[in-house]
Amino acid sequence: MNIKTISLLLFFSLIPLLNNTSLAAKNKLGIYAGFNYFDKIQKPKYIPVTDETGSAGKDIFDNDGNSFQIGIMYIFRSRFGFNMQYQTKRKCEFHYPCSDTPFVYGPNTNWTRSIVSNWSVGFNIYFWKIQKLKLYTGIDINYSKIEGYTRTGHIHPTTHKLLYIFPIDGYYYWGSMKITNPSISLGIQTDIFKRFSMNLMVKYYSGKIDEWKGGDSPNIYVNNQRLSGIYYLMNFIFLIKQ
């Protein structure tokens, strides 16, 4: 049984338990949907690696981008919250140098594409309230899938024209990996109507891959991926039970 399955079972087993308490009148169940923007801390750049064939640049997966999220939330005693969320695929495409100088005979540029999706289970504490505004902080356990694609080519250093690229059509597929990692968040929530509310959140996502095992075998050109970054999220919440 993997961690995602365990997290789902724990989340759904809490709801009937909390509803059976004498304080159930203060509990709220809701669904939400929204969008986010991810700002990666380590930007794509030339990072040298060396094997028996010589030096080249690392393949960097994941970068800035936006996606959507949907989720279910349960607020207990108006103070504690639990949520489960699915984040849709974020597709990132970019290119950057793969050599320390563009004046080389071989490839001097990497093109990289990555697709990232995410499941998460979180716990929030609402620690400050004034009128319709509620400030909260939280921690999440994330279950992320990262797909990696790459190709190489040569851009003329003075004319900046593309001289060649390989593969010509599409990308070489490096495979995919699944990682589990934490994140912490700070947000503010406000009521709009009786059953509708909105929240704004900033979330620090901490993630890395020490050894890439997405393809046929680990590869030094893909190892040691730093995936950490900042999420900026907006959600619209509908309360099913209040």
User: Mind listing the pLDDT tens digit for each residue in 113-167?
Assistant: 999 999 999 999 999 988 889 999 999 999 999 999 999 999 999 999 999 999 9
- The residue that leads in pLDDT, 136 or 9, is 136
Average the pLDDT over each of 14-23, 194-203, 216-225 and give the range with the smallest value: 14-23
* Residue 22 pLDDT level (bands cut at 50, 70, 90): very low
pLDDT tens sequence across 98-128: 998 999 988 999 999 999 999 999 999 999 9
Q: Are 235 and 190 in contact (CB under 8 A)?
A: no
Q: Residue 13: pLDDT above 60?
A: no
Calpha distance 238→31 (Å, rounded): 5
The pLDDT of 27-51, averaged and rounded, is: 92
At residue 23, the pLDDT reads: 47
* Residue 88 pLDDT level (bands cut at 50, 70, 90): very high
Nearest 10 degrees: Cα torsion 94, 183, 219, 5: -110
- Helix then strand then coil, in percent of the chain rounded to 5, is 10, 60, 30
Q: Are 24 and 18 in contact (CB under 8 A)?
A: yes
Q: Residue 199: pLDDT above 90?
A: yes
Q: Residue 40: pLDDT above 70?
A: yes
Mean model confidence pLDDT for the chain: 88
Residue type for position 80:
F
Q: Residue 16: pLDDT above 70?
A: no
User: What CATH number was assigned to the domain covering residues 3-241?
Assistant: 2.40.160.20
At residue 217, the pLDDT reads: 58
- pTM > 0.75: yes or no: yes
At residue 77, the pLDDT reads: 84
List the chain domain ranges. Answer: 3-241
